[in-house]
C-alpha cells in the first residue's frame, strides 16, 4: 500500500501548529501582516547579548500619531501618516509616497521585559531598545544519598 502525501494538508497542519505555538490563534491572518491597513512600514530587528533592537521606518509620521503596544514576545505598532499634499491648481505627475493608517505586528526572537523598554523617534526612524528577559541561573545542589533506616 502506497501512502500519498498531500502537501496542502501538511501546510495547513504546520500553519495550525505555528499559530498554536505563537499564541496568535485569536488574530485574523490579515491583521498579522497588516493587510487591512493602507501601508506597512519596513522593520529591522537586531540582537545583542542583553537587548533586542527594533527599527521601524516611519518617514513623515509624527510622534503623537504613533502607538506602541509591547508584550513579552511581540510588539504592535500602529498609527497614521497624514497626507500633506498641496491644494489648489497643482498637477501631480507622480505620487508614490504612501499615506494613511498603518499597523505592524513584530514577533521578537525572544522574551523581553516590557517595563525596561525605550522608544526613540529620530529622522523618521522609530527605534525600540528592548531588554531581554533572562532567567536566573538555577543553583545546583548535590545531594548525598543516605542509607535507609530500618
The three state secondary structure string of the chain is CCCCCCHHHHHHHHHHHHHHHHCCCCCCHHHHHCCCCCECCCEEEEECCCEEEEEEECCCCCHHHEEEEECCCEEEEEEEECCCCCCCCCCCCCCCCCCEEEEEEEECCCCECHHHCEEEEECCEEEEEEEECCCCCCCCCCCCCCCCCC
Q: What is the Rg, in whole angstroms, of the alpha carbon atoms belonging to the chain?
A: 24
Q: Three cell numbers at 60? A: 513623515
Give tens-digit pLDDT for 109-124: 999 999 999 999 999 9
40 within 8 A of 113, measured Cβ to Cβ: no
Residue 68's nearest CA partner among 129, 139, 1, 140 is: 129
Q: Rounding to the nearest 10 degrees, give the CA dihedral for residues 42, 46, 51, 55.
A: -20
Q: List pLDDT tens digits, range 42-95.
A: 999 999 999 999 999 999 999 999 999 998 889 999 999 988 777 778 887 887
Rounded to whole angstroms, how far apart are CA atoms 48 and 100? 34
| Per-residue model confidence (pLDDT) at position 75 | 94
Predicted confidence at residue 148, as pLDDT, reads: 76
Give all domains of the chain, ordered by start, each with its CATH number: 28-83+96-131 (2.60.40.790)
Amino acid at each position: 500500500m502506497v501512502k500519498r502525501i498531500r502537501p496542502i494538508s501538511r501546510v495547513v497542519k504546520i500553519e495550525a501548529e505555528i499559530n498554536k505555538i505563537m499564541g496568535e490563534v485569536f488574530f485574523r491572518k490579515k491583521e498579522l501582516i497588516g493587510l487591512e491597513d493602507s501601508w506597512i512600514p519596513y522593520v529591522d530587528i537586531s540582537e545583542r547579548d542583553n537587548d533586542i533592537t527594533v527599527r521601524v521606518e516611519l518617514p513623515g509620521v509624527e510622534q503623537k500619531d504613533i502607538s506602541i503596544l509591547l508584550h513579552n514576545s511581540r510588539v504592535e505598532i500602529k498609527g497614521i501618516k497624514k497626507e500633506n499634499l498641496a491644494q489648489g491648481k497643482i498637477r501631480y505627475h507622480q505620487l508614490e509616497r504612501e499615506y494613511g493608517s498603518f499597523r505592524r505586528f513584530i514577533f521578537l526572537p525572544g522574551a523581553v521585559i516590557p517595563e525596561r523598554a525605550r522608544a526613540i523617534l529620530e529622522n523618521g526612524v522609530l527605534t525600540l531598545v528592548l531588554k531581554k528577559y533572562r532567567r536566573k541561573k538555577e543553583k545546583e545542589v548535590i545531594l548525598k544519598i543516605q542509607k535507609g533506616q530500618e
